[in-house]
Structure 1
Amino acid sequence: MIKLDTKKTLFLLILSSILIIISFLISQYNYLLFHILIELFSIIIAFSMFIIAYNTYVFAKNKYLMYLGTAFLFIGLLDLFHTITYKGMGIFENLGANTPTQFWISARYIESFSLLFALFIINKNIKYKNYILGLSIITSGVFISILIYSIFPDCFIENQGLTQFKIISEYIISFILIGVIACLVKKKNYFDKNIFKLLILSVIFTIISEVSFTFYIDVYGFSNFVGHIFKLLSFILIYISLIKINLNKPYKLLFKNLDKKNKELEKKLKEIKKLEGIIPICSNCNKIRNNKGYWERVEKYISEHSFADFSHGLCPECREKLYPKNEKKVDDVDNSK
């Protein structure tokens, strides 16, 4: 019989294949429409990752995914500008294909460095606000260098294609990502087995995406299509990892602990209810037989099966029998009054 995880994996593979085929057909009909859909979906995933990471920071079990999820806010912002400045969008006039490509490569640099940097600070106490501030400064610098001062290196020249800077950058990013895989393997003890596999696969997809973007001449070309598909798949895998580690696991652990406490409470209640039934007591020594078959003192049994406690003393009858002289003296004192 096929295991549940295998069935789920098979379903996801079939679904992914269908979506890729549909995406390809859309790209053949209208590549700009395909690009908008793929990028917007990626951006939504990126922003969702940030929302999850930001709101689960306090109880996050894995700081790596928390840092990575935070970085995707800034990656998503750059991808958003890559999308709205893309050739044919008509939102920004006279920008050409260079500007969106600059936003693309800057987003990929931040993504690759975030994947690597987060591994080095996985067990270090870094202030979360400082981490966000650092990413904010870097991202602001990218926007200023592209949109205001135009000092960001050219990445695409019309009628020529990709520049050397863009091609070399894609290979540099790919080498950084290979370094990420090496570091992930070295620090795999920090990750759940399934999460580790998802992260490795995500980085491999990102490498395939980066290499694909070194071949195209036309921004509407097939290698461009392949690059966007693998980028989306990479985002989805990181998103699944973040959901599993920051949301699913804590809640499962919470309900597991709650169930454990409920069972313990039920057990205690059952033990307390036994006091309502017939309790075997020795008529000679007054010991009680417990639920394990052992005989023990009444005080011990009741203390274990209820919230009652004991204060030992003598009743008037026993006091008179055991200490008759003292009892008489007390009575004489009382009569003299």
Structure 2
Amino acid sequence: MKPTSDLAPTTTQTSRADRDHRTGLILSLLLGLVLAGVQFAQPQLHDGAFWLPASLHAICEIFAVTVAVLVFAVTWHSYRPAQPTNLLLLGCAFLAIALLDLAHALSYRGMPDMVTPASPEKAINFWLVSRLLLALTLLLMSLRPWRPLRSYRSRLPMLLATLGLVALFWVLGLGFPDVWPHTFVNSHLTPFKITAEWIIIFLLAVAALRFLSAWRHGLPYAAGNLMAAALISILAELCFTAYNNVHDIYSLLGHLYKVASYCLIYQAVFVASVREPYERLAVAIADRQAAEQRIEVMAFHDSITGLPNLALLQDRTLQALAAMRRDDTCVGLLFLDVDAFKLINDSLGLEPGDRLLRAIGQRLLHGLPESATLCRYGSDEFAVLLPGLNGPEAMAEVPQRILDLMATPFEIDGQLIPCSVSIGVALAPNDGHEPNSLLRNAESAMYKAKQAGHRTWRYYDAAIDSEVSERLHLLNSLRQAIERSELQLHYQLQFELASGEVVAAEALLRWQHPELGAISPARFIPIAEESGLIVPLGEWTLRQACRQAAQWRTAGIGVPRVAVNLSPLQLHHHSLEDAVRRALQDASLPASALELELTESSLIADTAQVLHTLESLKRLGIKLSIDDFGTGYSSLGYLRRLPVDTLKIDQSFVRAMATSTDGTAIVEAIIQMARSLGLDTLAEGVEDQATASQLQQLGCQLAQGYFFARPVPASEILTILTRHEGLRGA
């Protein structure tokens, strides 16, 4: 939390200060109108009038002296290290003004003699010094920067200098009245007196203009009030240039205006020295309380979804387990993982991905029982606590309800995003007696649900532990497989059915584990995709395949092109295009010698980013194909937009041709659709001559499978090619 500076008022303080300033300006305007009215009606109000007797004059001056002393007292006693120096200067000046006004009041005609006889001139002398000091002080305040006092010790010299200055004027005014110029002769003001008043008016006018500029620029002090005080003081001085009798209406107005200006200055000082610090303190306290509340929310709630986090879930699980033992009930814990969220997040972007998580959380909140606690466990993982269950049957309907809630796609940024979850269920006390074990077992059950094909749920089973441990061991080994040279590529040749010529070799990743032996891609590829390791694995595969293709071209081996599979995560990763460019450049391989195979599932989020990436790759000269076509989310709409060259017919359809007419019909439909779109077709999994001939008759151009060649290491490709050429020649 950023602290509030003493010289940086809050928005509330600023608005209140503006209101105070406007009030001061309105007051000065009204007082100006009163003076104008008096000037207009002067003969009726002035002739023979006795407006300011000595008693009323004494009351006005006592009030003015009291306010001036309060200005000094507030600024002096509210001192703090960050207080602007100008406030102390103003306070000390008003102490001097108070003492000079007191001397003026005691010297007024009609008051008892003090050292020397009371007279208008002696009173005017003290008055002029007081008003000149006020004008100079306000001018200094308007010109001098409002900076904090540097040293506490500088206060005392200010006070001593003030008292010394006052003592000097008291001595001169009381003991040596003849040294002063004449100001009041034969009941008239002298030119000196009037000139002095106009000089004071000029100084006050300059100060008022400076305060106006400061107020308009929002400087951090009560510039508006000080400007209003300067304006009212100008009105007072105008009164004291116009009176002919110290008791007339102008003299009364001048004294009243002086009191009004002092009050405005007191308000400015009080606000700056007392009210604003307390307001800042109140704001600081409120900010601290709000910060404490935010910290508490952050400690127990997720920052993206606003749902309870793991810490709050564990606390509530402890409470639920304690109640379970007391009431002889059960506690259920569900672990949810959003299927293929990495793919969705990479295709949409981080912000839309966060909005999707929030939407999932809100939908689950509205569909779960009121007693449930929904928690965001991790990036794309949620947990649901169900306390006080009467038995396993009471919980069985909840995971199915969640699956039904997730069946409707989410609309994010105008796109409909299908989304599903895999759910693991653990039930206390059988599956755990404390929060961590219950949560761990629910997570293990969730992995079992994922293996069952996603969008389903599974109960925890003790046998799952060994599977999870094996999975984790496999994941850790896979992280080191590249460094340990445990991975290698095998290549399966692809042929043209009509001519029998080799058109490409598909690169297939293989893993030879030093302890476990050969590990099937069906086991480690899903783990790599879920963990994100598929991106570095895919880049390694791409580099190795390009190098091998370049070596074949250099050696004159007839493999025109190498085909490399792309995972959905690779396609939606921002670095794909750069990785392809680097692999081609490092191997000195032309782009036309590379083919990238995409799965239909990778195109489920048909975003502008995916289309842009594919179009960029296509412009390089790279061929693109869709692998396992017919098993995903096919539609003519996206096929028409995608810049692909070939559809690879999934081997399940090819094998079905030998056993059913439906299989043949499906393959024929795919071939006809591809032909209508100007695409080639390649049949996967061809294992006999009859299937190859039938495919050729249906119009399929390309094929691969065990009938033609099995996947082999790169070193055996030449042998296969030589044998194949021999068979063709025969």
Provide TM-score, normalisation by structure 2. 0.34
Q: 2:280 — aligned with what?
A: 253
1:48-67 matches, within 5 Å, as: 48-59=70-81, 61-67=83-89
Kindly provide the amino acid, as one letter, of the partner of residue 96 in structure 2: F
Alignment of 1:219-298 (within 5 A): 219-269=246-296, 271=299, 274=312, 276-278=315-317, 293-295=376-378
Give the whole-Å Cα distance in 1 for the aligned partners of 2:235 and 2:59: 20
Amino acid at match of 1:278: T
Whose RCO is larger (CA < 8 A, sep 6+)? 1
More helix by share: 1
Q: How many Å apart are 1:264 and its aligned residue?
A: 2.8
| SS of equivalent residue, structure 1 residue 214 | helix
Question: What is residue 134 of structure 1 aligned with on the other side?
Answer: 161
Q: Give the Cα–Cα distance (whole angstroms) in 1 for the partners of residues 219 and 91 of structure 2.
A: 15
Residues 188 and 244, structure 2, Cα contact 8 Å, conserved in 1: yes
Could you tell me how far apart the structure 1 residues matched to 2:333 and 2:289 are?
31
> Structure 1: how far apart are the matches of 2:283 and 2:374?
28
Aligned CA distance change for structure 1 residues 210 and 199 (closer, same or farther; 3 Å): same
Distance apart, 1:277 and its partner CA? 1.7
Who is 1:309 aligned against?
A: none
CA contact (8 A) 2:101 2:130 kept: yes
Q: Is the 8 A contact 2:112 2:118 kept in 1?
A: no
Alignment partner of 1:81 is 2:103: yes
**Equivalent position amino acid for 1:69 in 2:** G
Report whether the alignment pairs 1:70 with 2:88. Answer: no
Output one character per residue of 1:121-160: Cα deviation in whole Å (capped at 9) or x when no partner: 3356673334334333332221121112332323223x33
The AA in structure 2 aligned to 1:198 is: N
1:103 aligns with 2:186: no
Contact kept, 8 Å, 1:62 with 1:245, in 2: the verdict is no
Please say if residues 155 and 163 of structure 1, whose CA atoms lie closer than 8 Å, have aligned partners that are also in contact: yes
Q: Shift in Å at residue 30 of structure 1?
A: 6.3
Q: How far apart are 1:76 and its partner, in Å?
A: 0.6
Q: Distance in 1 between matches of 2:212 and 2:86?
A: 14
Tell me the amino acid that sits aligned with residue 236 of structure 2: S
Residue 176 of structure 1 aligns with which residue? 203
Q: Does 1:148 align with 2:169?
A: no
Which amino acid is the alignment partner of residue 210 of structure 1?
A: E
Name the CA distance, whole Å, in 2 between partners of 1:199 and 1:291.
59
Q: Is the 8 A contact 1:155 1:162 kept in 2?
A: yes
Letter in 2 for 1:79: D
Shift of 1:248: 1.0
Structure 2 vs 1, CA of residues 165 and 263 (structure 1 numbering), >3 Å: closer, same or farther? same
In the alignment, the residues of structure 1 paired with residue 134 and residue 235 of structure 2 have an alpha-carbon distance, to the nearest angstrom, of: 15
Give 1:218 shift. 1.2
8 Å CA contact 1:43, 1:80 repeated in 2: yes
CA shift for structure 1 position 111? 0.8
Deviation of 1:190 after TM superposition, in Å, equals 6.7
* Structure 1: tracts of 5 or more residues without a match: 284-289, 297-337
For 1:49 and 1:190, how far apart are their aligned partners in 2? Answer: 23
Counterpart-to-counterpart distance in 2, 1:134 and 1:168 = 28
AA matched with 1:264: A
Contact 2:111-2:118 at 8 Å conserved across structures: no
Q: CA shift at 1:40, angstroms?
A: 1.1
Q: For the residues of structure 1 that align with 2:171 and 2:23, how far apart are their CA atoms?
A: 43
What are structure 2's unaligned runs of at least 5 residues?
1-14, 35-44, 301-310, 319-331, 336-372, 380-730
| Partner amino acid, structure 2, of 1:43 | V
For 1:130 and 1:154, the matched residues in 2 are separated by 34
Once residues 29 and 183 of structure 1 are traced to their aligned partners in structure 2, the CA distance between those partners, rounded to angstroms, is 35
Kindly indicate whether the alpha-carbon contact (under 8 Å) linking 1:198 and 1:238 is maintained by their aligned counterparts in 2. yes
Task: Return closer, same or farther for 1:129/1:295 CA change in 2, 3 Å cut-off.
Answer: same
**Once the two structures are superposed, what CA deviation does each residue of 1:255-284 show, in whole Å capped at 9, x if it has no partner?**
11112212333454564793532279789x
> Following superposition of structure 1 onto structure 2, how do residues 154-173 of structure 1 map, counting pairs within 5 Å?
154-157=182-185, 159-173=186-200
- Secondary structure at the counterpart of residue 218 of structure 1: coil
Q: 1:199 aligns with which of 202, 219, 226?
A: 226
Q: 1:30 and 1:147, CA in 2 relative to 1: closer, same or farther beyond 3 A?
A: closer
Tell me how far apart the structure 2 counterparts of residues 225 and 292 of structure 1 sit (CA, whole Å): 76
Paired amino acid for 2:191: Q
For each residue in 1:5-58, what CA deviation from the matched residue of structure 2 results, as whole angstroms up to 9, or x when unmatched? 59x959x96xx99xx9xxx9xx96762222122111111110000011112232
Q: Which residue does 1:320 correspond to in 2?
A: none
Cα distance change on mapping 1:107 and 1:185 into 2, 3 Å = same
- For residue 277 of structure 1, give the secondary structure of its aligned residue in structure 2: helix
RMSD, aligned α-carbons: 3.7
Q: In the alignment, residue 32 of structure 1 is paired with which amino acid?
A: A
Q: Which amino acid aligns with 2:70?
A: S
Q: Which amino acid aligns with 2:378?
A: W
TM superposition shift of 1:203: 0.5
**Paired residue type of 1:156:** F
Contact 1:42/1:235 (<8 A) preserved: yes
Q: Matched residue of 1:98: which SS?
A: helix
Q: Which has the larger radius of gyration?
A: 2
Q: Is the 8 A contact 2:50 2:248 kept in 1?
A: no
